[in-house]
């Protein structure tokens, strides 16, 4: 499974993927296998971009789909698509793993462990209407600011990491992100 992330998510309609996950909630193993084949590439892509370690990303992907099997009955198509739900599981699990690594480096008592079960911005952006609105608002940003926001959002990069990647001072990066988020908020509220 580790080398064959060849899902056809772009070719399947949202309703079909939602139906697969609904059937998984009923214990349908065939639907689970089909769901994995159709969506694992996209979920893996989100995870590997965030953690930047293919081996660990593969482990996380398996954990995400094990969780999906156990918690499929919590999926509510009225709140978002199955793909959004799976990406949120992947993103949240990856963030938890990244926090765990940071805590190991800092020492167990040096950083609080806060698990966030709320839908992430990535999960919310996955729904098609919201996604189109967000893309439209992102297109209004300057190219460098748009790049910085995308990097921060999809990879979980810190201000320092973004400043280094884009070769700008830390203060500049913080200003870009702050102003860009304010512009996005204003645009999305319109």
DSSP 8-state assignment for residue 27: T
Asked whether residue 122 is assigned to any structural domain, the reply reads no
User: Domains in the chain: how many in total?
Assistant: 2
Confidence of residue 4 (pLDDT cuts 50, 70, 90): very low
Phi and psi torsions of 170, nearest 5°: -55, -45
Asked whether residue 1 is assigned to any structural domain, the reply reads yes
Same domain, 29 and 105: yes
Residue 64 or residue 153, greater confidence: 64
When pLDDT is averaged across residues 25-30 and rounded to a whole number, the result is 94
**Alpha carbon distance 140, 136 (integer Å):** 7
Same domain, 104 and 145: no
Same domain, 60 and 25: yes
How confident is the model at residue 115, as a pLDDT?
A: 54
Same domain, 50 and 101: yes
Which whole-number Å values give the CA distances from 126 to 100, 134, 138, 146, in the listed order? 26, 10, 14, 18
Asked whether residue 166 is assigned to any structural domain, the reply reads yes
Which residues constitute the domain of residue 173? 127-190
CB distance 47 to 94 below 8 Å: yes
Handedness of CA 75, 77, 187, 139 (dihedral sign): positive
**Alpha carbon distance 187, 190 (integer Å):** 5
- Strands (E) in 17-161, as ranges, are none
Same domain, 4 and 25: yes
Same domain, 107 and 135: no
Last residue within a domain, chosen from 117, 141, 157: 117
Same domain, 46 and 109: yes
Same domain, 94 and 175: no
Average pLDDT of the chain?
A: 81
Same domain, 71 and 5: yes
pTM: 0.53
Residue-wise pLDDT tens digits, 72-99:
999 988 888 999 999 999 999 999 888 8
**Alpha carbon distance 74, 55 (integer Å):** 28
When pLDDT is averaged across residues 47-51 and rounded to a whole number, the result is 90
Residue reference for tokens 């989100």: 46
Asked whether residue 101 is assigned to any structural domain, the reply reads yes
Same domain, 137 and 184: yes
How confident is the model at residue 112, as a pLDDT?
A: 53
CATH code of residue 113? 1.10.1740.10
Last residue within a domain, chosen from 69, 92, 117: 117
Residue-wise pLDDT tens digits, 103-147:
666 555 554 555 555 555 555 555 566 777 778 888 888 888 888
How confident is the model at residue 58, as a pLDDT?
A: 94
When pLDDT is averaged across residues 165-182 and rounded to a whole number, the result is 87
Determine the distance from the C-alpha atom of residue 137 to the mean position of all C-alpha atoms in its chain, rounded to a whole number.
19
How confident is the model at residue 107, as a pLDDT?
A: 54
Last residue within a domain, chosen from 85, 117, 149: 117
Same domain, 146 and 72: no
Residue 71 or residue 104, greater confidence: 71
């Amino acid at each position: 499974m580790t080398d064959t992330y060849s899902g056809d998510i772009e070719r399947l309609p949202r309703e079909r993927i939602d139906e697969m996950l609904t059937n998984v909630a009923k214990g349908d193993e065939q639907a689970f296998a089909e769901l994995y084949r159709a969506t694992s590439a996209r979920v893996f892509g989100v995870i590997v971009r965030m953690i930047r370690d293919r081996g660990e990303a593969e482990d996380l992907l398996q954990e995400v789909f094990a969780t999906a099997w156990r918690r499929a009955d919590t999926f509510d198509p009225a709140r978002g698509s199955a793909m959004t739900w799976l990406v949120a599981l992947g993103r949240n699990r990856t963030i938890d793993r990244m926090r765990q690594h940071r805590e190991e480096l800092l020492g167990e008592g040096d950083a609080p462990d806060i698990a966030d079960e709320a839908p992430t911005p990535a999960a919310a952006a996955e729904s098609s209407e919201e996604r189109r609105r967000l893309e439209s608002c992102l297109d209004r940003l300057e190219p460098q600011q748009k790049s910085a926001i995308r990097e921060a959002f999809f990879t979980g990069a810190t201000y320092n990491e973004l400043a280094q990647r884009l070769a700008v001072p830390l203060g500049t990066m913080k200003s870009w992100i702050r102003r860009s988020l304010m512009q996005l908020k204003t645009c999305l509220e319109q």
